[in-house]
Amino acid sequence: MRFHTTTVLRLSALAILALTGCSTGNADSSAPSSSTTVSAHPDGESAPVSAPLSSAALAKWLLDENDLGEGYTRTPQRAAQHDDATVIGCPALEKLGSEAAIGGSFDFPHKAKASFTYAGGSDSEVAEELYSDAEDKLSRSVGRIFDAMTSCPTYQVLTGSTSVTVTTQKVTAARLGDERWSQLLTFSAGGRSSIVKQTAVRTGTVVVVVSGSPGLVDTHMAKAVDKAQRTQ
């Protein structure tokens, strides 16, 4: 079975690997929320906190071909399809379950996703995901996932009859938004390997995740965060 780099990029923010041609579905259409909560500033004054955005609202703030520039083509989303996977050699990831090992989504009700290919080469792909929820929930959940994914420098994932070696490295993210996480993932199978960079930035009640070719992630991350900040 071939090792599909592009499939990895079409998975969700937990994208670790995919070898079976699966990809995530379209953004859901949860009803928008109109409520606003209040939190206190350090000086004791209260200030409004933005409510989570609906999936339909998030979808409007995804990067598009005009944002990315010439040479990018949006990749159609297909119906979700997951194979059973087993993580070997990483207890923290094992606790998250097989869904995390093959790219299951964050457990947030509001989300939108898009992926693109670039005419510059076979490894020139980039995918963006937007998630929205309460700020503290976003912070805890995203931090927990990235900590688990980088807790083991090397581990194996078995999906079907295929074994993939995954090497992870935590890297420093550009100072964007309120919180940020970033990692490099190297997937090796059948004598082939591919490197994917994944960076997540929380800005208020939105988390922006950009995955793909390391150079393209670095090029487009700030633009994705800036666009997401216009929603708040």
pLDDT tens, residue by residue, 148-190: 888 889 988 887 788 889 899 999 999 999 999 999 988 888 8
Distance CA 161, CA 84 (A): 11
Quote the mean pLDDT of the chain.
75
Classified by CATH at the fold level, domain 5-25+51-229 comes out as Protein Transport Mog1p; Chain A (3.40.1000)
| Sign of the torsion angle spanned by Cα atoms 68, 138, 8, 146 | positive
Evaluate if residue 88 carries a pLDDT over 60.
Answer: yes
Is pLDDT above 70 for 195?
yes
Higher confidence at residue 106 or residue 56? 56
Q: Is the pLDDT of residue 13 over 80?
A: no
Check if the beta carbon of residue 88 is closer than 8 Å to that of residue 154: no
Percent of the chain with pLDDT over 90: 38
Q: What is the pLDDT of residue 50?
A: 73
Q: How far apart are CA 49 and CA 46, in angstroms?
A: 9
Contacts of 183 (CB under 8 A, 6+ apart): 146, 149, 150, 168, 169, 170, 171, 197, 198, 199
pLDDT band at 214 (very low <50, low <70, confident <90, very high): very high
CA atoms within 13 A on the CB side of 117: 11
CB 114 within 8 A of CB 128: yes
Instruction: Find all residues with CB under 8 Å of 210, minimum gap 6, and list them.
Output: 126, 127, 128, 129, 198, 199, 217, 220, 221, 224
Give the confidence band of 96 by pLDDT, cuts at 50, 70, 90.
confident
Domain boundaries, the chain: 5-25+51-229
pLDDT band at 10 (very low <50, low <70, confident <90, very high): very low
Model confidence pLDDT, tens digit, residues 113-135: 999 988 866 557 899 999 999 99
pTM: 0.77
Res 223 pLDDT > 90: yes
The Cα angle at residue 120 between residues 9 and 227, in degrees rounded to 5: 55
pLDDT of residue 136: 94
Q: Which residues contact 134 (CB under 8 A, 6 or more apart)?
A: 37, 52, 205
Residue 40 buriedness (CB in 10 A; 0-12 / 13-18 / 19+): exposed
- For residue 67, the model assigns a pLDDT of 94
Share of residues in the chain with pLDDT > 70 (%): 69
